[in-house]
Structure 1
């Protein structure tokens, strides 16, 4: 009989995880460094800190 591994629950989405995913995805598409894009996103995040994501 085949034993099944219990499925992992997905982690809670956070602003940091979303920003990292956006930075790496954009880096792949544009060929830029993901660290550079992450820094740019961090600057924008600070600039627009009063806006919140609806999670």
Structure 2
């Protein structure tokens, strides 16, 4: 079974991808993603088994 991917790793991946496209700093984007949740009551879906 594959190891679980943490929310922090997903945020890092999204931030780094966005940074490449926009030229913004990864840390700034991570902070924005962590603090500006439009849906704070929602969690990531649990991984599914294929």
Aligning the two structures, in what range does the TM-score lie when normalised by the shorter sequence? 0.7 to 0.9
Using CA pairs under 8 Å that are at least 6 residues apart, name the structure with larger relative contact order, 1 or 2.
2
State the 4+ residue runs in structure 1 displaced beyond 3 angstroms.
none
Unaligned ranges ≥5, structure 2: none
Aligned length: 46
With the length of structure 2 as denominator, give the TM-score of the two structures: 0.73
Q: RMSD of the TM alignment (CA)?
A: 1.8
With the length of structure 1 as denominator, give the TM-score of the two structures: 0.68
Higher Cα Rg: structure 1 or 2?
1
